[in-house]
Structure 1
Amino acid sequence: MSFLLKFSSLIDRLNQTVGRAVAWLTLLVVVVSATNAIIRKIFSVSSNAWLELQWYLFGAIFLLAAGYTFLRNEHVRVDVVAQRFTRKTQIYIEIIGVVFFLLPACLLVFWLSIPYFYKSYVLLEQSSNTGGLIRWPVKLLIPVGFGLLILSGVSHLIKCIGFLQGRCPDPLAQAEAMQKAEVNAADVIRQHAEEKLEQQRQHIEKGAV
């Protein structure tokens, strides 16, 4: 079990690294989208390549961050009934959900997406739009994204079993702690920004006087 828990920790670090890196793609999408809009409005010039780049980045955000989202327990849940059970029962429900629902569905998509990507890669498939991008990189995102989600599911399964054996902390409580920590960090940043704005406002008012 110790080896499996170390393997789970390695998977979590991988998904954390990927998730934090992918978060920067959101900024890149905003920059690309804004640039496209400005150029189109001002110069009446449009590029299919840049438009498709937006779509590629948008897909990368959702696919590559899926494992990180699952790690943080932020996927959509319906816990109206489960919340009434003991934590041990909730963990058993987690195990059933991962084994019988999450992993089979993700493995199926992963398996079917491999030939889908490979065919595009071998043929060097191009976009049907004039001036568009090559297709295989975006199709590669599908197996990679679902592969990370599968790994995250395996990691969660290991931690759930480890918790039942008394070998590791509660994985659900850990996810909740991660969420609270990030919320608190965001509150600190916002409070600091508000204090800076207030200081600037007071400085401007003193200067005006």
Structure 2
Amino acid sequence: MGTPLAWLGLAGLAASIVLTGAAALWLIVGSAALIVLAALIGARPALVLLGSLIAVILFILVPDALPAVLKSYGTNGRSFFRSWENEALLVVLAAIALLFWLAVWRWKEGTALGTISAIRDLDALVTFVGKAAAWLFVPLMLVIAYDVTQRKILEFYPDYLDTVFAFSSTKLQELEWHIHAVLFLFCLGYAYLKDAHVRIELVRERLSPNARVWMELVGGFIFLLPYCYLVVKFGFTFAERSFNADEVSAAQTGLSHRWIIKSTLSFGFALLALAGISSILKSLVYLYAPRRLRWHGSHYSGTPHAGQPDDLAMRGRRAD
């Protein structure tokens, strides 16, 4: 029962984006209430986590939601957040963590399996986006090949510019780095899940499996998630200013709507944050779950140069 309610709440949040006025505000509030109810009943923990995060973001960003409420009391939204940002952030994070814990606690198969369910769902989402974005490699290669070919054709046939097949070289070059940026940003979280990012193993490979997992856990909390928050926050401002200014390319024949590519910065690091949450949950499963379930979190207990730790020599995912 809880999972359908969570899906209904997510659908309501999606619908609130296209609404205006009081309807948008009440739909966000109602959808958030459905997600809270879903957590209490026992919904999929990942849905509760995503729904609560999206609800908070929409409540803050949609002009007819929190900004309109603050304005009705004579308070400027930006001034309010500058004054109370840290306090508001702590309250919001505590509320989201509480909702997520409730969903995990109420999960029908137990707390440990509820956490593992959240890990699988988060991994599935990040993996889906990463694998889908990887296909951008194909249009990227096609654009590069066409750009190079067109330049060679123009050397021998300048009138080619007058045909319908000719495109501005500046547009093509900008499109190349736009596609490359999206490819990198959208695959960033997937690369982290697969442990494909650069690691410096000088210290880590000499540690015990438990110490490696603790390092991943602490690093995720102290470094990864705060960094992702800052990039998402300032990335949104970066894109918002571009949108308000109707920013275009500095080149006269370049691409317009520069805010589109700038907005992918926040989205990419939001996916990385979800991958970071998944890694934190995996670490907690490895450290505190029953022994028979620890292999679900063993991903960070090994090193590229080590096999499965002796205490995890059982059927399941390999540590390296």
The alpha-carbon deviation at position 179 of structure 1 amounts to: 11
Give 1:47-66 correspondences, 5 Å limit. 47-66=169-188
Pairing partner for 1:81 from 203, 211, 220: 203
Contact 2:299/2:319 (8 A) holds in 1:
no
Contact 2:123/2:193 (8 A) holds in 1:
yes
Alignment-derived partner of residue 104 in structure 1: 226
Q: Distance in 2 between matches of 1:174 and 1:85?
A: 10
CA-based RMSD of the aligned residues comes to 2.3
The alpha-carbon deviation at position 178 of structure 1 amounts to: 8.4
Alignment-derived partner of residue 147 in structure 2: 36
* DSSP-derived class of the 2:280 partner: helix
Contact 2:247/2:259 (8 A) holds in 1:
yes
Amino acid in structure 2 at the alignment position of 1:95: L
TM-score between the two structures when normalised by the length of structure 2: 0.52
How many pairs align? 180
Amino acid in structure 2 at the alignment position of 1:153: G
* Structure 1 residue 14 corresponds to structure 2 residue 130: no
Pairing partner for 2:192 from 56, 67, 70: 70
Output one character per residue of 1:31-54: Cα deviation in whole Å (capped at 9) or x when no partner: 110100100111255422211110
The alpha-carbon deviation at position 125 of structure 1 amounts to: 1.6
Instruction: Report sequence identity in percent.
Output: 30
Q: What stretches of structure 2 of length at least 5 have no aligned partner? A: 1-110, 156-160, 162-167, 305-316
Give 1:1-209 correspondences, 5 Å limit. 1=111, 2-44=113-155, 46-133=168-255, 134-166=257-289, 167-169=293-295, 170-172=298-300
The alpha-carbon deviation at position 88 of structure 1 amounts to: 0.9
TM-score between the two structures when normalised by the length of structure 1: 0.79
Q: 44-53 vs 132-141, which deviates more?
A: 44-53
Runs of at least 4 residues off by over 3 Å: 1-4, 173-180
Q: Distance in 2 between matches of 1:178 and 1:146?
A: 27
Q: What stretches of structure 1 of length at least 5 have no aligned partner? A: 181-209
Output one character per residue of 1:60-90: Cα deviation in whole Å (capped at 9) or x when no partner: 1111111000000011101122111111111
User: For the structure 1 residues 16 and 174, does the alpha-carbon distance in structure 2 shift closer, same or farther, using more than 3 Å as the test?
Assistant: farther
Contact 1:72/1:179 (8 A) holds in 2:
no
Contact 1:73/1:175 (8 A) holds in 2:
no
* DSSP-derived class of the 2:136 partner: helix
Output one character per residue of 1:177-209: Cα deviation in whole Å (capped at 9) or x when no partner: 6898xxxxxxxxxxxxxxxxxxxxxxxxxxxxx
* DSSP-derived class of the 2:174 partner: helix
User: For the structure 1 residues 137 and 168, does the alpha-carbon distance in structure 2 shift closer, same or farther, using more than 3 Å as the test?
Assistant: farther
Contact 1:109/1:143 (8 A) holds in 2:
yes
Output one character per residue of 1:150-195: Cα deviation in whole Å (capped at 9) or x when no partner: 0100110011001111344212369976898xxxxxxxxxxxxxxx
Amino acid in structure 2 at the alignment position of 1:61: L
User: For the structure 1 residues 122 and 72, does the alpha-carbon distance in structure 2 shift closer, same or farther, using more than 3 Å as the test?
Assistant: same
Indicate the structure whose relative CO is greater, using CA pairs within 8 Å and at least 6 residues apart: 1
Amino acid in structure 1 at the alignment position of 2:249: S
User: For the structure 1 residues 160 and 135, does the alpha-carbon distance in structure 2 shift closer, same or farther, using more than 3 Å as the test?
Assistant: same
Q: Distance in 2 between matches of 1:5 and 1:175?
A: 22
